[in-house]
């Protein structure tokens, strides 16, 4: 699977892998940015 420029809204879990499934997500910078923005508010 590959992807780009998608939006996931309102999910309890954005990504979930079960069995032998795996998902490597490199979007940590974007997530950190969201968390910092929330703290400042």
Binding residues (CB under 8 A) for other proteins: these are 1-27, 29-31, 34-35, 38
What distance in Å separates the CA atoms of residue 5 and residue 33, rounded to the nearest whole number?
17
Inter-CA distances, 14 with 18, 25, 38, 40, Å: 14, 11, 19, 24
Give the residue with the Cβ less far from other proteins, 11 or 40: 11
Least distance between other proteins and beta carbon 7 (Å)? 5
Give the residue with the Cβ less far from other proteins, 7 or 40: 7
Least distance between other proteins and beta carbon 11 (Å)? 4
């Amino acid at each position: 699977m590959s992807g780009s420029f998608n939006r996931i809204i309102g999910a309890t879990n954005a990504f979930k892998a079960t069995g032998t499934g795996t998902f490597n997500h490199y979007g940590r910078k974007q997530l950190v940015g969201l968390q910092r923005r929330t703290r400042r508010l």
